[in-house]
Amino acid sequence: MLRWPVLPVFALAAMAQGDPREKPGDYPATTALASYSLGAEYLGRTLFSAGKAYEAGDFLVVDTAIYPARGAAVPVKISQFALRLNGRKELIYAQPAGMVATAMRLQPWNENRRRLVTQAGPLILGAPVPNERFPGDRQGQPRLPAPPRAPEPDHQANVEREPARPMADILEAEALPEIAAEKPLRGYLYFPYSGKLAKLKSIELVVIDEKNPGSAVLKKAR
């Protein structure tokens, strides 16, 4: 069973999508390139949006911020970023949000790899379906939906409830935008990886750009 650390509300807000942090050094990993500075944070398979946390399936998530030099316009492309895992020569390239969403729809997820959702306090995983311990055991039976009820005449009866957002929209909205950046910007990069996170001893974010080559260490081998 997957276990996740308990995160206070202010920590979730800090990791949610929004403006870049004040400076590159506010990120755990940083590097100075020719035309810009880069700040990054490795988030495992978790991304945050609107105060909620979601699992990204078989993709690693890196929160990435770009700080252009004064007067520079930095062309940002997803294809410029890759991960080097455990010091290997082969690189894993970032994927567009649309391809990530398609791959997630096609993945045969099990009960321990559901989308994460949190509103406050601890992260909550989708609960696994309990197994029947003996014939007639009520614990092993799936819960039936609640019977229909008459609408309650309260003051919020006409308030429209916020619909669930499609995962494709969340991935796209939170992704690092592909633009010519003239001011700091941030977003998520998604990298395909189906192995166990515990096997990742070192992670390096590599920038593949003739004008701005470089890298930042996201996780050091112990």
User: Looking up tokens 């920038």, which residue turns up?
Assistant: 207
Structure tokens at 213: 């080559």
Residue ranges of domains in the chain = 9-126+164-219
Taking each helix axis from N to C end, the angle separating 167-174 and 97-106, rounded to the nearest 10 degrees, works out to 150
Q: What is the pTM (predicted TM-score) of this model?
A: 0.71
Percent of the chain with pLDDT over 70: 67
Q: Is the pLDDT of residue 137 over 90?
A: no
- Beta-strand ranges (E) seen in the chain are 29-32, 36-42, 46-49, 52-55, 59-68, 74-75, 81-85, 92-93, 180-181, 185-192, 203-207, 214-219
Supply the mean pLDDT for the chain: 79
Q: What's the pLDDT at 202?
A: 98
- 45-66 mean pLDDT: 95
- Burial per residue of 34-72, b for 16 or more beta-carbon CB atoms within 10 angstroms, e otherwise: eebbbbbbbbebbbbbeebbbbbbbbbbbbbbbbbeeee
Rounded distance, CA 2 to CA 125, Å? 8
Name the residue type at position 153: P
Q: Tens digit of pLDDT for each residue in 141-155?
A: 555 555 665 554 444
